[in-house]
Structure 1
Amino acid sequence: MHLARQSIFATNPTQLIDIRFEAEGRIFTCSTPSGFAIYETWPLKLLKKRELKNGTLNIVHPCQTSSILFLVGGGRSPHYPRNKVIIWDEAAGREAAELEFREPVLGLACRRGWLSVAFRSRVVLFKVSEKGVSRVIEYATWDNPRGLVAMASTPGSTLLAILGQHAGHVQLIHLSPCPPPPLSVTTSPTYREPRIPKPPQVSPKKAPPFIVAHKTALTTLSVTQSGRLLATTSSQGTLVRVWDATTGGLVKELRRGSDKAEIYGTAFRPDEQEICCWSDKGTVHIFSLGSGEGPSNRTSSFSPLSPFIKLPKYFASQWSYAHYRLPAASSHIMLSSSPKSRDESDAGEEEKCIVTWIEVPSETLDLPGIGKGKGKALESKPEYQLIALTYSGGWYRLALPSASAQSAQSDLKNQGASPRIPSSPLGRSSPVAISRPASVKGKEKEDEFDQDSHSERRCTLQEFRRFGRWDGWG
């Protein structure tokens, strides 16, 4: 008798209800059926954990450099009504305030001093202080089922971005400057001042009131911490457009792929030199925003002809210079499944994830000194990496391909040699090399990502953790 292969994973794995990064990406919160927890992003460390016995939360939003959390009930058995925002003081372990509305809350954005709450067709702005919470103003928006709203968070920044009143439009609002973090935070030994450009000096009279970003409805909206740049994607899911929030001009148009997709989110690197996006295709794409030094985005081989021949817009596109394909979520295999269905089920469904940037401390090299055994310390440039969290409980730390490795691989390719497929530093092949049937949802048309000739563009897996039902990420 022939038996199908059996999965060694639990048939009912723990699914995370909500995952959110703090504005600077230093911590993140996750909501599970048993409660919520707060973690340090990297090195991965549990900071706080709280169990809830009578319901679940749909949103657990951390407020930067503070003990304040914004909670919204959700799931099959909401712990709080969906039309309420609970301001939770984790340091005191109690509710600090409660905001009640006439409709379900769909999205939140916050920074020191301000909270914006998104609904289906409006955004309400609140001022948050030690004295309490006060309602300031309400803005009408286009249909917003995703609850899109974004807010710059670095000291001195002012930008609040919401949907406009027409499809594909973004309304730009400037608030009072964000104050610096409390002294107790800046003097903490674990606090590192982020390398973020200074916020632009914007005159409210000269600032553009809105940006016509796309012709169709927006699916993601994000801003840099300084508020200088803005990124948008539409329901088509093929392009990521980056805008200058001070002038309203288009900075970059970046192509994720050629087929339609649902883009889950975008994230700017803190120094605003790169941006990444991730979608239901299971791939994280990294694009360069800088000019001059650093990696360059890929372009079509026909692009050099554009000054002489009018080419379709597709051939002038800029494609990601690096990528990482998350392994598909494990799926249960039925004993009665046919060989064909087993092949399809082996691939599973693409992972839904959320991504942020981290700055890895620069390595220090000890060089031999001249006399008495003293040495010199030579510090390298800081390295930026990615942290990807999946809703099925995967924690990935990804390193970008180095410029030297890309140059060496390009030389080999020009000489006709086949470049070597990089392996994971953990001593096994990186999950990005996993093959998938063409029939599985998530197969991208940019098939060159799976070819050996482009292996130098793959990110490498530096560290992986799995979320457990009892111990969380360990």
Structure 2
Amino acid sequence: MQGGDHGGDQGRTLFVRFNQTGGCFACGTEAGIRVYNCDPFKETIRRNFGVAQGRAGALQSQGGGGNGKGHGGGGVCAFGGIGMVEMLFRSNLFAIVGGGEFPAFPTEKVLIWDDHQCKWIGELGFHSRVLGVRLRRDKIVVALKNKIFIYNFEDLKQLQQLESVDNPLGLCALSSQQDKAVLVCPGLQVGQIRIEHLDHRRSNFINGAHTSNLACVALSLDGSLVASASEKGTLVRIWRTTPRENTGEYLEQELRRGSDRAQIYSIAFSPSNAYLAATSSKGTVHIWPIISSQHDASQTLTTVWKRFVPDYFNSKWSLAQYRLGDDSTSACSFGTKENTLVVITSSGKFHKVCFDLAEGGECKKISYISFSS
């Protein structure tokens, strides 16, 4: 199957996600996939996947560009939808899941696409819909509604299977650092976070991380910190992935997005773990400084006062903010400089902004590009 039709209408954007370092991002559309470099902004890959409509009404995917021949005497549709695409850094390898009204592939499968060879090199099948996929150089993680599967990337051999509470968003986060393989996902109870140290087959559970279902989780690049938000969306909490030796506690910091409910779409740590950003259904981006409790002189007092003062006053408000102008699904990632942030939306908008590290306030727009056409 050959890929490479660089023309034609890609249709509606179904999915947007940064790669592990935030230097580029991939989109799943109603026709295939697109990949963009962030700095400078540039489309680098466009692959369309045609869909053959068989006589029995079953959809069968054809090669990139939609040039494959139909099966069972059926014709070939102009496009096939991609509901999920996960990049492996800047390599030629992608994990792809069908999606949209006319999926290019069954939504119960994860296919591995080698864009250099323009061919499929692997496939994982399941009995229910795939809700999340994460990659690192040595592992593939697949999230279903109540299960998390971990595979060896080289031979697709299953390494582990984890149970989870209902996880309709397919939440999971996987560290990218080679010497620290950490997986974070919902635990076995509502609001519980599971931290799996894959190299050591060791599990840690943060009980009562939130009182309601998790809505978003994210790991720092070095795998030392995890951020989480619940479906309420008013708070983002930062946790250690290993407990403190002296207290056994995981909580590092509590950040406040606002007082109204909202869905947190994405959370991102800066490369140095000095800042954290989050986007939400309010169409806003919030940025906070991260202060390790090990260096926070007021930590002891804060711990005491938390017994008496409501969470509203304990949590830290954002340093800087930015308004996207729409409430479509969005993702954020820090740029090459500590004070720059890139935000992409499923409405096909690219925002690059900067903020004052000392004063904060409203972010300054550096560039704005529409990539939906």
When the two structures are superposed, what TM-score results if normalisation uses the length of structure 2? 0.82
**Partner of residue 224, structure 1:** 220
Distance in 2 (CA, whole Å) between partners of 1:86 and 1:22 is 17
5+ long unaligned stretches in structure 1: 1-11, 177-203, 297-302, 329-349, 361-382, 407-455, 470-474
Task: Go from structure 1 to structure 2 and tell me whether the alpha carbon gap of 1:291 and 1:102 turns closer, same or farther (over 3 Å shift).
Answer: closer
Task: Go from structure 1 to structure 2 and tell me whether the alpha carbon gap of 1:231 and 1:468 turns closer, same or farther (over 3 Å shift).
Answer: closer
**Partner of residue 458, structure 1:** 362
Task: Go from structure 1 to structure 2 and tell me whether the alpha carbon gap of 1:125 and 1:13 turns closer, same or farther (over 3 Å shift).
Answer: closer
Question: 1:467 Cα shift?
Answer: 1.7
**Partner of residue 128, structure 1:** 153
1:100 to 115, 125, 135: 125
CA contact (8 A) 1:37 1:49 kept: yes
AA paired with 1:113? D
CA radius of gyration, larger in: 1
Correspondence 1:57-96 to 2 at 5 A: 57-96=82-121
**Partner of residue 309, structure 2:** 311
CA contact (8 A) 1:14 1:393 kept: no
Distance in 1 (CA, whole Å) between partners of 2:205 and 2:193 is 5
Correspondence 1:405-420 to 2 at 5 A: 406=359
5+ long unaligned stretches in structure 2: 1-8, 52-79, 244-248
**Partner of residue 341, structure 2:** 386
Correspondence 1:273-284 to 2 at 5 A: 273-284=274-285
1:20 to 17, 21, 35: 17
Q: CA RMSD in A?
A: 2.5
**Partner of residue 34, structure 1:** 31
Q: Deviations over 1:348-401 (max 9, x none)?
A: xx23211111114xxxxxxxxxxxxxxxxxxxxxx4311111111111100012
Distance in 1 (CA, whole Å) between partners of 2:357 and 2:110 is 44
Q: Deviations over 1:205-231 (max 9, x none)?
A: 9x7621121121100111111110011
1:359 to 305, 329, 336: 336
Distance in 1 (CA, whole Å) between partners of 2:227 and 2:163 is 21
**Partner of residue 286, structure 1:** 287
Distance in 2 (CA, whole Å) between partners of 1:256 and 1:105 is 30
Distance in 2 (CA, whole Å) between partners of 1:13 and 1:96 is 24
Distance in 2 (CA, whole Å) between partners of 1:222 and 1:463 is 26
- Of Structure 1 and Structure 2, the greater helix share is in 1
Q: Deviations over 1:25-69 (max 9, x none)?
A: 122111222221111122112222112232111011111242110
CA contact (8 A) 1:326 1:351 kept: no
**Partner of residue 352, structure 2:** 397
Distance in 2 (CA, whole Å) between partners of 1:144 and 1:215 is 15
- Of Structure 1 and Structure 2, the greater strand share is in 2
Aligned residues with identical type, % of pairs: 32
1:144 to 167, 171, 191: 167
Task: Go from structure 1 to structure 2 and tell me whether the alpha carbon gap of 1:291 and 1:104 turns closer, same or farther (over 3 Å shift).
Answer: closer
2:205 to 200, 210, 220: 210
**Partner of residue 186, structure 2:** 163
CA contact (8 A) 1:327 1:351 kept: no
Question: 1:291 Cα shift?
Answer: 6.2
Q: Secondary structure at the match of 2:50?
A: coil
Q: Secondary structure at the match of 2:176?
A: coil
Question: 1:263 Cα shift?
Answer: 1.0
Distance in 2 (CA, whole Å) between partners of 1:465 and 1:261 is 26
Question: 1:18 Cα shift?
Answer: 0.9
Q: Secondary structure at the match of 1:17?
A: strand
AA paired with 1:57? I
Distance in 1 (CA, whole Å) between partners of 2:191 and 2:101 is 32
Task: Go from structure 1 to structure 2 and tell me whether the alpha carbon gap of 1:462 and 1:14 turns closer, same or farther (over 3 Å shift).
Answer: farther
Distance in 1 (CA, whole Å) between partners of 2:321 and 2:135 is 30
Task: Go from structure 1 to structure 2 and tell me whether the alpha carbon gap of 1:313 and 1:36 turns closer, same or farther (over 3 Å shift).
Answer: closer
Question: 1:310 Cα shift?
Answer: 4.4
Distance in 2 (CA, whole Å) between partners of 1:97 and 1:258 is 46
CA contact (8 A) 2:11 2:31 kept: no
Size of the aligned set, in residue pairs, is 324
Question: 1:315 Cα shift?
Answer: 2.0
Distance in 2 (CA, whole Å) between partners of 1:105 and 1:91 is 25
Distance in 1 (CA, whole Å) between partners of 2:82 and 2:345 is 18
